[in-house]
Amino acid sequence: MVHIGDVPFGSKGFAVIAGPCSIESREQLEQTAQAVQTAGAHCLRGGAYKPRSSPYSFQGLGREGLEILGAVSASLGIPTVTEIVDVADLDAIAEHADAFQIGARNMQNYTLLNAVGRTQKPTLLKRGPAATLDELLLAAEYVVSSGNPHVILCERGIKTFERATRNTLDLNAVPYLKQRSHLPVIVDPSHGTGIRGLVAPMAKAAVACGADGVMVEVHVDPTRALSDGHQSLFPSQFDELMRSLGPFVEAAGRTL
Amino acid sequence: MVHIGDVPFGSKGFAVIAGPCSIESREQLEQTAQAVQTAGAHCLRGGAYKPRSSPYSFQGLGREGLEILGAVSASLGIPTVTEIVDVADLDAIAEHADAFQIGARNMQNYTLLNAVGRTQKPTLLKRGPAATLDELLLAAEYVVSSGNPHVILCERGIKTFERATRNTLDLNAVPYLKQRSHLPVIVDPSHGTGIRGLVAPMAKAAVACGADGVMVEVHVDPTRALSDGHQSLFPSQFDELMRSLGPFVEAAGRTL
Amino acid sequence: MVHIGDVPFGSKGFAVIAGPCSIESREQLEQTAQAVQTAGAHCLRGGAYKPRSSPYSFQGLGREGLEILGAVSASLGIPTVTEIVDVADLDAIAEHADAFQIGARNMQNYTLLNAVGRTQKPTLLKRGPAATLDELLLAAEYVVSSGNPHVILCERGIKTFERATRNTLDLNAVPYLKQRSHLPVIVDPSHGTGIRGLVAPMAKAAVACGADGVMVEVHVDPTRALSDGHQSLFPSQFDELMRSLGPFVEAAGRTL
Amino acid sequence: MVHIGDVPFGSKGFAVIAGPCSIESREQLEQTAQAVQTAGAHCLRGGAYKPRSSPYSFQGLGREGLEILGAVSASLGIPTVTEIVDVADLDAIAEHADAFQIGARNMQNYTLLNAVGRTQKPTLLKRGPAATLDELLLAAEYVVSSGNPHVILCERGIKTFERATRNTLDLNAVPYLKQRSHLPVIVDPSHGTGIRGLVAPMAKAAVACGADGVMVEVHVDPTRALSDGHQSLFPSQFDELMRSLGPFVEAAGRTL
């Protein structure tokens, strides 16, 4: 079992992380955070350092974003997770957030894995878009063997020939990983599908196949999001998702 | 809504098709059929004509297998689905089974699609291992535009780089297809994973993301199966699966 | 070694098959055939029966197309290859063409493989878009074990996550297949790339890695082609390709 | 045009980089380097920092390896390329080697891309195993837009469903990238196939489709290599490869 703040992952409880792809402003994060917390989310996500395919895309607010994240977390009392892309940012992130996220592009960035492995901070490790499940487990082993056992695995979709969805969310990963490892496993249906209308059904499927939680992108106004707007839920949709997850969480013998 | 025998697909009811990969003998099929029927399966599957990658693998009992299927179906009163691989077998299959299955390898065999399209027999169309969802919908359109609207779509896994599982069961397909088509959509977690221990969690996930049914391989003794034994459930496991599906079917607002 | 008409495949000679995707009219085929023959092509391709993803796309001229193919072949003295999609057309195709093509969608249509296997007609077997090389060899084994040893294997691209090209032409296939089988191996850079400007470089690469020939789509006027126009060469481009292949064929110790 | 030492990439000359996967000892590197230089290689490769899927695999000699590389380079007068995995090693690598390699796993490690982009050192950027060609070009843009225009692109195989080869070497990449960018493009047939017997044919194919060079793994004794032995050439095989490349390089209008 791994805790982000006081939220357990891998226990009887089903954990929900929600929030915007990128932190864009204090106002945007605060409004989104309030909405997801009210709807029942346990943790807040939000990126300050954004790895983007193009150097000309929005790269995140950086240090300023981290400080906003820390302030919103403190004011609402909600634990947070944010992505680390550079070892140089480790201390600053450790100060302002409750958990590191290693993004999909960095799943085999061993420098980064070893660095978070030398801390005791919970680390959300996302599967690379072309990583096999065994490679994901070996990547986790870098963190664990460096001394940090607090790793949460995250399935977020792989690259396949299918073009209807942004990625192919591979839910086989959930029971496969649970059978091979004691680490908690969560699912990111937002990146896994890339389509707003598929997030809710795939979140329910994640519950049903045994995931310990989900991570969902929500934005106070997705139409104005600086990144991933098309796959982010409106607050009202997230509220509806939380309600509809309830019966499946119960069917799985867990609590929300 | 499409009916196989009197079993509706695409209604409030969640439909379960179960049975062996191949029909191997009267005894094998009968025992398996009784077991799955007792456990609550609605339809019986079983292959008489088996498309196999190697010409030296077991190719099915052919006509004899069909007759066994017809006899077992009649004696137990359970409707059946079996694969058609050759237009020449169409009448014989139509006589002995309640539904055609177009297998994954034949999803774009337009001769076959047009032939079943000229009947009024329900047709289970499996997604090809490299077919996009839009190609699957277009393949269904061959059947429908030939005059047969009774098509059930089946997600059964696609080929990806991942080697932990036989295929990558793409559950994104379920909500995607449901949003684009009125056809019922079912899921085959046996071929979709190729691993016995992943069948149950993925069947539950199929319910949760909106599938209208599942098709599961069950064999009275998987250790002796002539094909797909490693992914076939033991009868006791299928019984356990049916029980465990219940709460998820209910959570989905459906009945089993 | 396999012969289509008097053209050897798998000998010291490097064989070139060229022609339109679809036979559209006597005039279109004749003009294209004359152009490719003048430029040095050894065999003519042209589809009368076209398997298309959508039932609403042009499906080929059928029997009329076959007759055009036979007539143009006779008048120019160039051997031909054309696709078979239905066992019912076997005799008609055998009458009008010199070789069967089993298309990528039908690589695992065992009914069709067995049917051409019962003839002595050379058969060009295209790799399915999701078929492993070992599956391709096993598909060839269906034809050979049915009695027909005259099989030519054809790499034509596989489905991958890459979207820049229509398929990913997998030239690894050439040396891999040559090392495991005595069958001739040719390459189709037109379908393999789907981009006119990539056909020539990939044809040269095919020569260099040991292919026994190439099959190239050429149309007298690609801008008016009823199918695959964007990947078909203009006659002048094909002429240029034949000239530029020369030095590579010579470097490979072969003749054009 | 980009130079590694005095070796031009992207000129009329076809450039060959050869050497072991990992630097294992002074003796191993020196013997291998002498062999490849004698056979005609222009640059020496050798890894001191090895990113490996498992933390329990050999991770390279690190700083000691770098020093061996520098010493061998100086004694033989052959320019070198070696992988950088951590920004902290940048100065040491810059001191001992002539070019940085960004490995496939780090293609989207933007911290690393930006860091090498702030130097003027030539940088060999390998395509990630699941990176589209457009993502590769955007990754190069990180280096170039940071101020370093000396980027060489390297195709090294992508992950697909095919299991006969370690990766699927995607030679379509070569003409595609050459048509879209002015950067030199080379090919790594060792990682691209993972099979010793496929390296030579695919190297020839790389020449034929327009590559500006190849990078080949050679080991003085592959049977004892600490990594990638099965895909490394014996020195005599590399010598044979260099001879056999000659006619294809000439056919391409280039010089070796």
Check CB contact of B256 with chain A, cutoff 8 Å. no
Q: How far is D204 from chain A (nearest CA, A)?
A: 28
- On the question of pLDDT at C228 being above 90, the answer is no
Average pLDDT for D157-185: 97
Q: Return d(Cα D156, Cα D178) in angstroms, integer.
A: 16
* pLDDT tens digits, B10-67: 999 999 999 999 999 999 999 999 999 999 999 999 999 999 999 999 999 999 999 9
Chain A residues close to C163, C-beta within 8 Å = 163
Provide the residue type at B105 as one letter: R
**Above pLDDT 70, what percent of chain A?**
100
Q: Which of A179, A198, A251 sits opposite B251 (nearest CB)?
A: A251
**CATH H-level superfamily of B12-246:** Aldolase class I (3.20.20.70)
Q: Which residues of D71-108 are buried (b: 16+ CB within 10 A; e: fewer)?
A: ebbeebebbbbbbbbbbebbebbbebbbbbbbbbbbbb
Check CB contact of D182 with chain B, cutoff 8 Å. no
Please indicate whether, in this complex, the C-beta atoms of A176 and B198 are within 8 angstroms of each other. Answer: yes
Q: How far is C171 from chain A (nearest CA, A)?
A: 19
Q: How far is A133 from chain B (nearest CA, A)?
A: 7
Chain D residues close to C172, C-beta within 8 Å = 162, 164-165, 168-169, 192-193, 198, 202
| DSSP structure class, residue A107 | T
Please indicate whether, in this complex, the C-beta atoms of D133 and C172 are within 8 angstroms of each other. Answer: no
- Total residues belonging to chain B: 256
Q: How far is B35 from chain C (nearest CA, A)?
A: 32
| Minimum CA–CA partner of D133 in chain C | C164
Check CB contact of D58 with chain A, cutoff 8 Å. no
Q: How many CB atoms lie within 10 A of CB D253?
A: 9
Please indicate whether, in this complex, the C-beta atoms of C163 and A160 are within 8 angstroms of each other. Answer: no
Query: What's the Cα-to-Cα distance from D19 to each of C148, D94, D230, D248, rounded to whole Å?
Result: 46, 19, 14, 22
Q: How far is A41 from chain B (nearest CA, A)?
A: 20
| Minimum CA–CA partner of A162 in chain C | C161
| Minimum CA–CA partner of C129 in chain B | B130
Which residue in B58, B22, B16, B11 sits closest to B204, CA to CA? B16
Check: CB of residue C155 under 8 Å from CB of residue C107: no
Average pLDDT for B118-124: 98
Read off the tokens for A80: 């947070």
Q: Which of A85, A129, A141 sits opposite D111 (nearest CB)?
A: A85
Q: Which of D163, D172, D207 sits opposite C132 (nearest CB)?
A: D163
Q: Which of C88, C110, C146 sits opposite B85 (nearest CB)?
A: C110
Q: How far is A169 from chain B (nearest CA, A)?
A: 7
| Minimum CA–CA partner of A107 in chain D | D105
* pLDDT tens digits, A184-222: 999 999 999 999 999 999 999 999 999 999 999 999 999
pLDDT band at D228 (very low <50, low <70, confident <90, very high): confident
pLDDT of residue A228: 87
* pLDDT tens digits, A116-143: 999 999 999 999 999 999 999 999 999 9
φ, ψ of residue C187 in degrees (nearest 5): -130, 140
Query: What's the Cα-to-Cα distance from A100 to each of A53, A141, A218, B199, D159, rounded to whole Å?
Result: 21, 16, 19, 33, 28
Check CB contact of D7 with chain C, cutoff 8 Å. no
Q: Return d(Cα A224, Cα D162) in angstroms, integer.
A: 41
- Mean of the per-residue pLDDT values of chain A: 97
- In chain B, where the domains are located: 12-246
Chain D residues close to A142, C-beta within 8 Å = 55
Under 8 Å CB pairs connecting chains A and C tally to 8
Check CB contact of D118 with chain A, cutoff 8 Å. no
pLDDT of residue D65: 98
Chain B residues close to C130, C-beta within 8 Å = 128-130, 158-159
Read off the tokens for D179: 């048509």
pLDDT of residue A39: 98
pLDDT of residue B228: 87
Check CB contact of C243 with chain A, cutoff 8 Å. no
* Mutant choice from C161, C166, C167, C170 vs A, greatest count of A C-beta within 10 A: C161
pLDDT of residue D140: 98
Query: Domain A2-250, what fold?
Result: TIM Barrel (3.20.20)
φ, ψ of residue A178 in degrees (nearest 5): -65, -30
* pLDDT tens digits, A151-194: 999 999 999 999 999 999 999 999 999 999 999 999 999 999 99
| Minimum CA–CA partner of C57 in chain B | B138
Chains in contact with A, where contact requires at least 3 CB pairs less than 8 Å apart: B, C, D
pLDDT of residue A63: 97
Residue linked to tokens 């954004």: A50
Q: Taken in order B53, B54, B57, B61, is the CA torsion positive or negative?
A: positive
Hey, which residues 162-181 in chain B have their CB within 8 Å of chain A?
162-165, 168-172, 174-176, 179
* pLDDT tens digits, A57-74: 999 999 999 999 999 999
Secondary-structure class of domain D2-251 per CATH:
alpha beta
Q: Which of B55, B110, B135 sits opposite C145 (nearest CB)?
A: B55
Hey, which residues 196-215 in chain A have their CB within 8 Å of chain B?
197-198, 201-202, 204-210
pLDDT band at D194 (very low <50, low <70, confident <90, very high): very high
- On the question of pLDDT at D201 being above 90, the answer is yes
Please indicate whether, in this complex, the C-beta atoms of B111 and C54 are within 8 angstroms of each other. Answer: no
Read off the tokens for C64: 């009329």
* pLDDT tens digits, A108-122: 999 999 999 999 999
Cβ neighbours for B150, distance < 8 A, ≥ 6 positions apart: B2, B3, B120, B121, B122, B123
- Mean of the per-residue pLDDT values of chain D: 97
Please indicate whether, in this complex, the C-beta atoms of B163 and D159 are within 8 angstroms of each other. Answer: no
* pLDDT tens digits, B71-106: 999 999 999 999 999 999 999 999 999 999 999 999
pLDDT of residue C142: 97
Under 8 Å CB pairs connecting chains A and D tally to 68
* Mutant choice from A158, A161, A167 vs C, greatest count of C C-beta within 10 A: A161
Provide the residue type at C227 as one letter: S
Which residue in B13, B16, B32, B7 sits closest to B228, CA to CA? B32
Q: Which of C168, C192, C252 sits opposite D160 (nearest CB)?
A: C168
Read off the tokens for A144: 């664990």
Q: Which of D56, D130, D145 sits opposite A159 (nearest CB)?
A: D130
